[in-house]
Structure 1
Amino acid sequence: MSKIASYGEINLPLRVGIVGTGFAAKIRAQSFIAESRTQLVAVAGRNPERTAEFARSSNIATVADWQALVQMPEIDLILVATINGDHGQIVRAAIAAGKHTIVEYPLALDFREATEIVALAAAKKVLLHVEHIELLGGLHQTMREWLDRVGEVHYARYSTIVCQRPVPDKWTFQRTEFGFPLIAALSRLHRFTDLFGSIESVNCHNQYWGGVGDYYKTCLCTAQLRFKNTSAIGEVVYGKGEGLWQNSRKFEVHGANGALIFDGDEGVFIQDGTSTSLDLGARKGLFAKDLELVLDHLIDGKPNYVTTAASLATLRVAEAARISAETRRTVLVDTV
């Protein structure tokens, strides 16, 4: 079966190769297997034993490395769900080979590299989708639904603190492989750009503690944001490791007429001394929803729920935050 869409002729089912064997890759594999429009074919990973087990559990083939996987003629679409530091080179190679490509954010750790990859995808006329499932979740959808009720927004703050003791010996605590915290955790900034529009300037502070060399045991990154089209002040906090002692996930918006407070999986709207509880819905099934919407876009030409341009614009803000943290000065996003 085939259809004509904006990317040309699409033959179904789309044959899929996965790069990566971690949590996101496993959930993605289940989504591809359950989706009638895709056929999971092969996987490539960094650890041969984990890759072999992944392949057995999914009843697919193993490939020696991602370089070979992206060149396989029997694969139409590549999913990149491996360490952040490898995203850019893998996605670039997949697109150069003419493969439609889905990548977990960030597209690349370097903003300029990401810009080049987006241009390459347009030139090759293949799909490039950067996953941003935070936009599909109940918290974000509820925030969108209720945001007008707070009136003119004065202050918005998003904080995620993860206590990890002992710190795992994993790539997520390696500066080079994980990347600058707000680039690696791009969804924290993307909530702000999606809800409040373009960010004009950022002032960021970042600190690592413990560890040796590239490896650290605690990081804490904070950034203050000013927007182009609103006087609101935004603040994002991201921290993890053994030097932080209590888990916290809180998103709050204060405005002229009320406030929205989301603490963990609970939300309330506060106005005139009264609180209204909000139903945030389930957090499960977001990867499957992401895949469904991406396939609708690729095959039927429907609008995607997030564009590469939007993800790239947020990555530019994250790059400005990195520069700000390194130079200890406020950075105008348009200058990056």
Structure 2
Amino acid sequence: MSLQIGIVGSGGMSSRRAGNFHKLKGVEVHSVAARNPETGPALAHRVRATCTSNWEDLLTNSEIDALFVGTHNALHGPICIAALEAGKHVFCEYPTARLAPENRRLAELIASPDSPVFRLSNNESISAEHAALKERIAGLGPLFTSHFLRLTPGKGKRPDVLFNLDLTGPPALFFVYHIHTYVSLFGPADWVHATAHYEGLKDDKGYDRFTNTVTIGFASGGTGQWTWAGGIEVESAIQEAQIVTRDATLFEAADGWDISTKSDTSPLVFGDNERSLEALFLADVRDETDWRQDARIGLASAAIGHAAEISAREGRVVRMAEVI
């Protein structure tokens, strides 16, 4: 029998995922839950699904096996928790949850051996490049430090709600996929320190531009740092990344990673991705994967964002034990 999935949301990501699921053998898009009276019915029509304005209708429908959650970040935690508690498998866009208590509840739920699947939209899970990077780094000695920089002129094609602290959270949450990479490579954080500046901050917690720097100490040793700046005066986006280990330094290049030692520099060699995240989710549901390992990476990455928010607000180092 085909997996019956409900789509929560009708924006860009929900539309994309619904289309991919609609084309995937073994899956049927059963329903779309969306508050937008135009995009919701239009998406449902495109994937031959029913439509409702209330996501809770999907939880009480016994015909639906799983949910895709593609709403704004503030609803990720409540919907994912309710779905897992209702026995539905969940595929969620990042982050796992806007708030730390929600993140902790998700961790509790997936710890049960009877938990439904909880899959986060994290491309490292299907990336041949990331698999090759992880294998190579494992042989390069301990991490010394890693640095990531992302500068953007605006929100790009993302909705205006992206620049809203209440609905979307700080950059460490809406850019949490940049953190995923390093948590997957080096494990969870022990402590977090962050600074943040929001220009044009309004009563509704929207803002015009930002800078945000997050520094962590990995529990396994070494440090990581991310700097994001958005809405700034730059012609086009700039992204840089470096990883310094005992035996090599790695640089993110245009076509992948370069690995440098005192003797030479060579590119990281990797193959093609074998499947989509939608296909991986179907394999999860069929009990063909260790999905919990990926879920824990997603939860640990979001927890760094939660700790960073506290650190920036209170001006102190936050131990991860405070948020996990």
TM-score range, shorter chain: 0.7 to 0.9
CA shift digits 1:125-176 (9 cap, x unpaired): 4222223223433552342133245443322112222222799762111221
Deviation for aligned residue 1:88? 1.7
Residue 108 of structure 2, aligned match among 104, 119, 122: 119
CA shift digits 1:223-257 (9 cap, x unpaired): 11112222x22111223224555412222112333
Q: Percent of counterpart pairs with the same letter?
A: 23
Shift of the 328–243 alpha-carbon distance from structure 1 to 2, 3 Å rule, reads farther
1:237 match: secondary structure: strand
* Separation (CA, whole Å) in 1 of partners of 2:271 and 2:321: 37
* Alignment partner, residue 7 of structure 1: none
Deviation for aligned residue 1:108? 1.4
1:68 match: secondary structure: helix
* Alignment partner, residue 199 of structure 1: 189
Q: Is the 8 A contact 1:114 1:312 kept in 2?
A: yes
* Alignment partner, residue 222 of structure 1: 213
Deviation for aligned residue 1:216? 0.9
- Asked if 1:46 corresponds to 2:35, the answer is yes
What amino acid is the match of 1:206? A
Question: What is the CA RMSD across the aligned residues, in angstroms?
Answer: 2.6
Shift of the 197–166 alpha-carbon distance from structure 1 to 2, 3 Å rule, reads closer
* Separation (CA, whole Å) in 2 of partners of 1:169 and 1:299: 34
* Separation (CA, whole Å) in 2 of partners of 1:152 and 1:97: 42
- Asked if 1:85 corresponds to 2:70, the answer is no
Shift of the 189–63 alpha-carbon distance from structure 1 to 2, 3 Å rule, reads same
* Alignment partner, residue 251 of structure 1: 241
117-126 vs 93-102, which moves further: 117-126
Shift of the 23–139 alpha-carbon distance from structure 1 to 2, 3 Å rule, reads farther
* Alignment partner, residue 24 of structure 2: 35
Deviation for aligned residue 1:208? 0.8
CA shift digits 1:63-95 (9 cap, x unpaired): 122122332222111110111111122222323
Provide structure 2 residue ranges, at least 5 long, that are not aligned to the other structure: none
CA shift digits 1:82-135 (9 cap, x unpaired): 111111222223233332221112121111122223434649742222232234
Q: Aligned ranges for residues 1-336 of structure 1 at < 5 Å? A: 12-120=1-109, 122=112, 125-148=115-138, 150-164=140-154, 170-210=160-200, 212-213=202-203, 214-230=205-221, 232-279=222-269, 289-304=276-291, 306-336=293-323
1:70 match: secondary structure: helix
Shift of the 279–249 alpha-carbon distance from structure 1 to 2, 3 Å rule, reads farther
Q: Is the 8 A contact 1:206 1:220 kept in 2?
A: yes
* Separation (CA, whole Å) in 2 of partners of 1:222 and 1:303: 33
Shift of the 149–272 alpha-carbon distance from structure 1 to 2, 3 Å rule, reads farther
Q: Is the 8 A contact 1:226 1:234 kept in 2?
A: yes
CA shift digits 1:255-286 (9 cap, x unpaired): 3332111134443222225321335667xx79
1:146 match: secondary structure: helix
Provide structure 1 residue ranges, at least 5 long, that are not aligned to the other structure: 1-11
Q: When the two structures are superposed, what TM-score results if normalisation uses the length of structure 2?
A: 0.88
* Separation (CA, whole Å) in 1 of partners of 2:73 and 2:295: 17
Q: Is the 8 A contact 2:70 2:92 kept in 1?
A: yes
Q: Is the 8 A contact 1:248 1:264 kept in 2?
A: no
What amino acid is the match of 2:74? G
* Separation (CA, whole Å) in 1 of partners of 2:173 and 2:79: 17
1:175 match: secondary structure: coil
* Alignment partner, residue 3 of structure 1: none
What amino acid is the match of 1:215? G
CA shift digits 1:276-307 (9 cap, x unpaired): 1335667xx79x62222232232134322744
**Alignment: residue pair count:** 321
Shift of the 228–92 alpha-carbon distance from structure 1 to 2, 3 Å rule, reads closer
* Separation (CA, whole Å) in 1 of partners of 2:322 and 2:202: 34
* Separation (CA, whole Å) in 2 of partners of 1:188 and 1:168: 17
Q: Is the 8 A contact 2:162 2:174 kept in 1?
A: no
What amino acid is the match of 1:160? R
